[in-house]
Amino acid sequence: MFLVINSGSSSIKFKLFENKIPVASHTKLVLGDKTGMTDKKENLKEIMSGIAEKIWSKDSFLDWKFEGKEWETKDNFRDYKNALEEIVDVIEICGIKKSQIKAVWHRVVHWGEKFQKSVIIDSKVIKAIRGSEELAPIHNKINLECIMDCKKLFPKAKQIAVFDTAFSQTMEEENYIYAIPYKYYKKYKIRKYGFHGISHHFVYDKLINEFKKIKLKNSKNLKVITCHVWNGASISAIKNGKVIQNSMWMTPLEWLIMWTRSGDIDPAIIPFLAKKEKLSAEQVENILNKESGLKWLRWKSGDMRDIVAAYKAWDKKAKMIVKMYVNRIIKYIWAYTALLWWVDAIVMTAWVLERSALIRKLICKKLEWLGVKIDSKKNNSNLKEGEISSKDSKVKVIVIPTNEGLMIAKEMSKVIGN
C-alpha cells in the first residue's frame, strides 16, 4: 500500500492505494475518481480517501471515505502534524497498519530548477525544497512540514516528492524568460515555472484516453486549454501533450484572481504601497498572497458559492466581483488561443468550474466569437463529468473533475521500481 499526501494552504487531502501486482509490470493507469475503483489491467485499487480542512481553525474537521461509506470527524487541528496524526488514526481504525504503507507521496508546489521529475526524498531534496520556499511562500513550507512529520509517522516508508511544476517544463525559453536583465535569471533563476501541473496533466490525459467518443478535430495536432479554477487557479495551453504556457509564472501569485491572492497587478503598486503605508517588501507580498483576492474583495465571504448566490440575488458588489473573476479567465483563454493558433478543446476542472454552472455559462458566453456554444440543459444538469458544448460548437467544452491523488499515484512505477 502507498499513501498520497496533498497538503494545501489550509488542508491536507489524502488517498490510500493498494497495488497487488509488482510495479515492474505496470504500463498504464486507468484514470478515475471512485473510491474502491480497481484497474482491471493492473489491479491498482483506491482503498480510502479524505480531506482535513480548516487547519488551525476551531471548526476544523476530517472527511473520509472507506468501503463506500463516508464519515466526518470534527476536531481542533492545531497544526498540520495534528491533522496528519488524525489521518493515521482513521487509517488504523479501518484495520490498516502503518507498517503496510511502503511509500508516502507528497505534492510539492515548487522545485526551482532542481528537479524535473519525481524523486525519493533525501537530504538534498529537502534542502532544495527549503531553498525554494521564497518562490512559493504559502505552500513549500507546509509541504516540507508534512514531509518531515510523515518521516516520523512512517519511519520505514519511502518518502517521495511529486513536483507541481514538472508538467510545465516543456515550455520553450521564449515562453519562460522575463524581459528583465538576463543576469537575474542566471543568478537567481527568476523565470516562469508553471503550476497545478499535476491537475493539468491529469485532465489532459483523461481527455485523450477516456473521451474518444468526442470527435476532436486535428487529433494529430491537438490544441487544448485546461482551466484549473479553485482557491488557487491557473490555465495551461497544451499542444500535442506539451505545455506551451501556464498562467502561474515564477510564483503561484500571478495572473488569475484567487481566494486570497490578487493575481495580476501593476508591479509598480508594490513600491507605491510600501511608501504610502510604510510597509516592507515582505509585508506587501503578504498582502498580495494572503489578504487579497475573493476573500478581501467581498467583506461577507470569499467563498465562490456565497458570491454566486449573492450575484443571483442582484447584489451589486457580487456582480462586480463575478465579472472581474470571469474577465480575467477569459483574458487568458483568448491569449492562449492566439498562442496555440486555435483551440480544439477547453477543459474545465477544479472546484469552481466543476460545480458552478453559472461561472461556466458566463465564460462560454464570452467565447462565442470563437464559435463556442454550450448546451444549457447539460450545463445546468448538475453533471459531474462530460461535454457541455452543443453539437454545432466549433470548440469542445468538457468538464473533467481533477484527481491529483491518482495522478501522483501514476508516478509510482517511475520512481520506486521493484
Q: Domains along the chain?
A: 2-169 (3.30.420.40), 215-399 (3.30.420.40)
Q: What angle do CA 168, 205, 125 make, to 5 degrees?
A: 45
pLDDT higher for 221 or 387? 387
Note the pLDDT of residue 143.
Answer: 92
Amino acid in position 153: L
What's 398's DSSP letter? E
**Cα distances (Å, whole numbers) of residue 6 to 109, 144, 216, 226:** 10, 11, 32, 20
pLDDT at 359 over 70: yes
pLDDT at 203 over 50: yes
Write down the mean pLDDT value for the chain.
87
Cell match 466549433: residue?
A: 394
pLDDT category of residue 252 using cuts at 50, 70 and 90: confident
- To the nearest 10 degrees (0 to 180), the angle between helices 140-153 and 80-93 is 40
Q: Are 333 and 235 in contact (CB under 8 A)?
A: yes
Question: Of 104-118, 213-227, 374-388, which one has max mean pLDDT?
Answer: 374-388
Q: pLDDT for 206-215, tens place per residue? A: 999 888 777 7
What does the alpha-carbon distance between residue 78 and residue 336 come to, in Å, rounded to a whole number? 42
What does the alpha-carbon distance between residue 55 and residue 52 come to, in Å, rounded to a whole number? 7
Classify burial at 163, counting beta carbons within 10 Å of its beta carbon; exposed 0-12, middle 13-18, buried 19 or more.
buried
Q: pLDDT for 267-321, tens place per residue? A: 999 999 999 999 999 999 999 988 999 988 876 677 888 899 999 999 999 999 9
Q: Which three cell numbers stand for residue 218?
A: 486535428
Catalytic residues: 164
For residue 172, the SS3 value is: coil
Q: Are 81 and 59 in contact (CB under 8 A)?
A: no
Least confidently predicted of 21-35, 126-140, 370-384 = 21-35
Note the pLDDT of residue 217.
Answer: 63
pLDDT at 38 over 70: no
Note the pLDDT of residue 216.
Answer: 74
Among residues 8, 36, 123, 118, which one has the least CA distance to residue 414? 118
pLDDT higher for 82 or 418? 82
Q: Which three cell numbers stand for residue 12?
A: 491536507
Q: Which three cell numbers stand for residue 148?
A: 518531515
Q: How many CB atoms lie within 10 A of CB 18?
A: 15
> H or E stretch including 210?
helix 197-210
Q: How many CB atoms lie within 10 A of CB 338?
A: 10
What does the alpha-carbon distance between residue 88 and residue 82 come to, in Å, rounded to a whole number? 10
Classify burial at 59, counting beta carbons within 10 Å of its beta carbon; exposed 0-12, middle 13-18, buried 19 or more.
exposed
